Structure formats: structure tokens, C-alpha cells
Amino acid sequence: MKKVSIVGSGNVGVNSAFFIAETAAANVLLVDIQEGISTGKALDLMEAAPIRRYRTRIEGSDAIADIAGSEVVVLAAGLIRAPGKERSEHFQANAALARELATAIAKQAPEAKVIVATEPVDAIVKVVVETTGFDRHRVIGVGGILDSMRMASFIADALGVSPRDIHALVIGSHTGRMVPLPFYARVNGVEISQLLDAQTVGRIVDDTRRAGDVIVDLAKHANAYYAPSAAITTLVEAICLDLKVVRSVSVLLAGEYGLSDVALSVPCKLGAAGVEQIIELALNEEDRQALAASAGPVRALFAPAEDRKGTR
């Protein structure tokens, strides 16, 4: 069975390990620099196996070298944002950590695909690509897939239908400038414009953009982790099981949609190689401009320090 290593044994990392174990897509290694935490949490997860009936192995380690042989490495380490703050607030600290971990990944697991969950996701995708030297298609950010899940949930609530019947699409940066695309939202194939009025659709778009902020503000001392972990698991399954599914994920663009040298979420076909195809939608002018504008907060993080003042 394939091996997935998760770097960071906090809420996102541990819940991802649990969800991945239940899919039987891969064995899981939890890695964290805090001595004993990964091993302890791995033991706890394995003690749930008899009742949850998963056969996959979950192990823990304090040593990053143990990621060797991984099919996928998930970056789930780093500082999280506080209520009222932006995802970008810890960019410098998390970017430094990402560079350190990416260097280790390139050395210990040079064939791995990397899933980035460390915030700010889009910027960290670029950092990991540049540090590892990996092909950009092997570094995937958990941005648009999470935002699309949230939009689908809000549509299901508005209609009183099963979330499993909803397909939604959000592209752009994982910021307040993300671009939900109601035109592509479907309820078992039916456009939501035939089921919901424009005012309700507009509210869903606003709720989607604010979803992460609402959770942080309510939880106070924790960020979202169940939905991000579910999104990570979906990407792990797509890669380890070579599913050839289309999901909105953050990838470093190189001319697609007229944008380069910035990572944004766009629809991609995912399989064993990671991002196997970047799909360019025929966006209208308004959505194309919104996508370009959503790159602004991501690009600003790489500007000289004096130019970053006031960008948050």
C-alpha cells in the first residue's frame, strides 16, 4: 500500500490521517517536531481501527527523514490565524518553515507529490515549488476545493437537499477575493439559477467568501479543520488511487488564464502524477477580471517589505 506522510500533527494533520485511513487509500505517517506527539496520536488513531474497521496503518515519528518513500507529503504545519486577522498574517514565519520542510522533502522524498494546507495556501504553493525544484504539477494547494465544498454546503442548506447532489466551483485565491462561479453550480445537473433567486445566490457567494472567517471568529482559539481535512483526503485519494477527477486546486500558473508566476485555484484533472491537466474555462470578462484581481493579495506577499505595508 502507498505511503502518505503528514507533516504537522495538529487538528488538520490528525483528522486528515483519520479520514485517509478510512478511505484505505494509503498508510499514513504523522510527523511533528514536538517529541512524542505524533506517536501518541497515531496510537490513539490505531486504537479506533477495530471499531472503525480500517486496515491501513497509522504511525508517528519525530524525524522528517522518515517521510522517505512517500507517494504524497501533506504540509499541515505552521502558525494559524487569530480572530479578525487575515490568512496572510503569518506568511513570513510559515514561508520560512515551508522552505525548511520543502528542502527536506526534496532530499528525502524526491518523487513525492506535495499537498499544501499551510496558510496562506497559494503563496506557500509557490514557495514549495521554488524550494523543491519540483514540477509545478506536483505541488497542489488546498484552496478552491475547500471553498467549493463550502459553497456546495450553503446551496444545499438553501434548497433543503442533500449536499451529495450539489456540485459547486470556486476559483482564484484562498482569500476574500476568491471567485465563486454560480453559473457552474449544479443540483444533480440543474443550474442553481433555475432553483434560487438572484438575491439568495448573492448571499451564498458572500457566505462562501466569509466562511473561514466566521469559523475562526466563533471558535476563537481554533481554525477550521474538519472540512480542510476532508479536502486533503479527497486529494490524497485522487493521487494514490489515480482517480482522474476534476477539482479546483491551487497550482502555480504559467500562462493559463493569462496569469503567470502566481498560484491560484483553477479546475484541474488529478491523478497519480498530481495535476495532470489544468482546465481553462471560457470565463466571461467579469469573471476573468475577478480572477486576475484575486491574484493581487497573493502577489503582494512577495513584494518588498516596504511595498507590503497596508496590503492586508
- Kindly list the structural domains of the chain, giving each domain's residue range(s) and its CATH number in brackets, ordered by start: 3-141 (3.40.50.720), 144-300 (3.90.110.10)
Please report which confidence band the pLDDT of residue 80 belongs to, taking 50, 70 and 90 as the band edges.
confident
Please report which confidence band the pLDDT of residue 192 belongs to, taking 50, 70 and 90 as the band edges.
very high
Please report which confidence band the pLDDT of residue 43 belongs to, taking 50, 70 and 90 as the band edges.
very high
Closest CA to 290 of 308, 266, 271, 272: 266
Residue pair 265/171 in contact by the 8 Å Cβ criterion:
yes
pLDDT score recorded for residue 304 = 74
pLDDT score recorded for residue 305 = 55
Instruction: Give per-residue pLDDT as tens, 61-79.
Output: 999 999 999 999 999 999 9
Overall average pLDDT of the 211-226 stretch = 90
The yes-or-no answer on residue 137 being catalytic is no
Query: Which entry of 90, 137, 167, 174 is annotated as an active-site residue?
Result: 174
In 110-163, alpha helices (H) = 121-132, 144-159
pLDDT score recorded for residue 86 = 73
Overall average pLDDT of the 210-229 stretch = 92
Report the C-alpha gap between 138 and 238 in whole angstroms: 13
Q: pTM of the entire structure?
A: 0.95
Read off φ and ψ for residue 7, nearest 5 degrees: -95, 110
- Mean pLDDT value across the chain: 95
Instruction: Give per-residue pLDDT as tens, 269-312.
Output: 999 999 999 999 999 999 999 999 999 999 999 987 545 454 44
